[in-house]
Amino acid sequence: MLDPVLLRTQTAELAQRLKDTRGFDLDTSRLAELENARKQIQKRTEELQNLRNTRSKAIGQAKAKGEDVSALMAEVAGFGEELKASEAKLEEIRAGIEAIALGIPNLPHASVPAGADESANVEQHRWGTPRAFGFVVKDHVELGARHGWLDSDAGAKLSGARFTVLRGQLARLHRALAQFMLDLHTNEHGYEETNVPLIVNEDSMRGTGQLPKFEEDLFATQVGDARRYLIPTSEVSLTNIVRDAIVEDAVLPLRMSAHSLCFRAEAGSHGRDTRGMIRQHQFEKVELVSIARPSESYDEHERMTRSAEVVLEKLGLPYRRMLLCSGDMGFSATKTYDLEVWLPSQDTYREISSCSNCEDFQARRMQARWRNPATGKPEPVHTLNGSGTAVGRALIAVMENYQNEDGSITVPEVLRPYMGGTERIA
């Protein structure tokens, strides 16, 4: 969440910035109403608490002298109920303010271009040249249909729409991609491999910004009184490792990577994206998360994005880096780069990785802090996350860019050690 001091002292200015950059309407009237009520109730609550403390001390002193304390006891009992009611009301008002604060998106960094949607995103650079095919290219669905390697019908029978069964060499290629990415990030990019839970509690989802705003986009479980959620990305699990913790300066930046299943109920309907594996309810991703010192988070953001780019370069997949505009960024991000890989069947670039700096937005929600050696005091860390990359979309890109006229698929050289030396899926 945003700095509560900013929300409290610069409400009008903040509301205008949110409107201009995010198209978000902050209910300033309701916020002012709650803030005024909080001040009044808090003042009265503190008065009653002080009164209770002084009277309790007087009772103790009177008892020590053997004096009659019945009058003092009656006085304390008299304002005790008011204090209890006042404390309850104060908590209710604070909860109302927090509910508003939890629904406010992060403010964009000054370098982020203004814009309402993806049309205002800015291309940063491109790598690689799309291959010129001497035959009519097939999409990944047609290529995967051979031998039933990619079976959406079986997925639908088992679970419903937007689920897929992979078989044989294609399933192995999918696994090889994930292993290659993990090895690259842990051996060359300095991330620690981490295996995390796929089911998390409400506090974890709230910490990274999925709750309360996006609950309808999540898959949830209910066992007894415990409600838990299937992660939409391992960013949730990895980032929340530092929730309610004070991280020592010596371990920063803390870099973690995880390969996990991801579950998203909001897959939606996007024309040709409904075909095949482009947009699934269940998919796999290799995630990158960094916990950084505030002064270093933008350098870390560039480093993280570069780590994801190296994946695509080693696979020989043409891509471009896009700087997202203010209206196309995620809820928690203050700056985001998208990497878009070339898909021959669509004759365009499609997102395969998104790398974001959230500054202290998630850290404030999680109470994740570091001990600043300059002051000795705990301060919010900066959190960053990125796809390094989406495994299913990498599989699609490899299938389409490395296809041959007979429908076979050449295995990229960096993946062959993970495929038992196989050079071509045929």
387 annotated to a ligand binding site: yes
Decide: 230 and 263 in contact? Cβ < 8 Å. Answer: yes
Dist. CA 382–CA 290, nearest whole Å: 8
Tokens representing 254? 């803390």
Residue 303 is a catalytic residue: no
Q: Considering the candidates 87, 202, 351, 379, report the single residue annotated as catalytic.
A: 351
Whether residue 278 is annotated as binding a ligand: the answer is: no
Instruction: Confirm or deny that 33 is annotated as ligand binding.
Output: no
Is 354 annotated among the ligand-binding residues? Answer: yes
User: Per the residue annotation, which of 255, 354, 356, 400 is the catalytic one?
Assistant: 354
393 classed as catalytic: yes
Q: Is 351 annotated as a binding residue?
A: yes
Q: Determine whether 206 is an active site residue.
A: no
264 is in an annotated binding site: yes
- Residue of 162, 369, 393, 400 marked catalytic: 393
- Considering 22, 206, 255, 264, which one is annotated as catalytic? 264
- The answer to whether residue 255 is catalytic is no
Side chain identity at 252, as an amino acid letter? L
235 labelled binding-site residue = yes
List 162, 206, 255, 279, catalytic entry: 279
Q: Among this protein's residues, is 423 annotated catalytic?
A: no
Where is the binding site for L-serine, in residues? 233-235, 287, 387
Residue set of the binding site: 233-235, 264-266, 287, 351-354, 387
User: What positions carry a catalytic annotation?
Assistant: 264, 279, 351, 354, 393
